[in-house]
Amino acid sequence: MPRKTHKGGNSEAGGTQLTFDFYGGERITEMPLTELHTPDPHPFLVADDEAMSLLVDSIKQYGVREPGLARPLENGGYELLCGNRRKHACELAGLQTMPVIIREMDDETAIIAMVDSNLQQREKLLYSEMAWAYRMKLEALNHSGIKAEQNSIDILIEQTGKSKNQIFRLVRLTELVNDLLDMVDTRQLAFNAGVELSYLSYDDQFVVVDAMKKHEIKPSLSQAGRLKKLAKDGKLTPILIDSILSEPKKSPVSERTARLKYRRYFPPDYSQKQVESVIVSLLKDWQKSQQNIML
């Protein structure tokens, strides 16, 4: 949008001359990149990938088209809630400032704003990004005055279009140690198997990681389910973990082979129960249609 630039006063953090205009009724400030700090924790990855290269080229040619969102920090500087990819792209493009909307917010409001803005703007998210974003927003909603868990989950269901079960299964991934969570992100570990392993203690999960490296395997859903049950019963030991994960693979006529043809039509985070529910529902509709044809 066209910018009418105004001169502002010196900033408190070093006397930088700021300029500002207005965006949707809020004032935009050209903030020094050195005064903008990434939230901690921040669930969204800033990667030097092809998309980042395209963003850098765009900023070099057109500038930053949409301002970031930040809030003042008690000890100086600003917490950049939305726009950390743009900030990094500005750094790579050799810029010193970027346009930012400054807004006073409490912790819960800041977390909700950070999650919402990133969910809206990012087309592709890793499982870990979704998992931590959903968990952080649910906790922030509850802390901000929404007492009943059902209310907060309903808000997230409406926003994401995912079912309650899908959201809770994604949030379970936050209970994985980083090594296993990274494997889920990179598809070295299946999503559903990762959910099952999230019920193991951290110590047992580290044993799983070591066994995976030792035997050069990834746990099947069946193996992960067995480990979960043993852990629940208080019977899981490092020796059992190694024994289960070292088992020879079954014949080619396996669960994967049997389900491969139709599994690709469903979201990766659908459980087998959800897949079967959809298939049964479609088969019932088909059966009714055939009965109508015969009448």
Stated pTM of the model: 0.69
Phi-psi region of 216 (alpha: psi -120 to 50; beta: other; left: phi over 0): left
Cβ contact 72:104 at 8 Å: yes
Q: Confidence class of residue 96 from pLDDT cuts 50, 70 and 90?
A: very high
Q: What is the mean pLDDT of residues 41-46?
A: 85
pLDDT at 46 over 80: yes
Query: Over the stretch 179-214, which tens digit does the pLDDT of each residue have?
Result: 999 999 999 999 999 999 999 999 999 999 999 999
Q: Does domain 6-104 have CATH number 3.90.1530.30?
A: yes
Q: Are 149 and 142 in contact (CB under 8 A)?
A: yes
Q: Where in the chain is the domain with CATH 3.90.1530.30?
A: 6-104
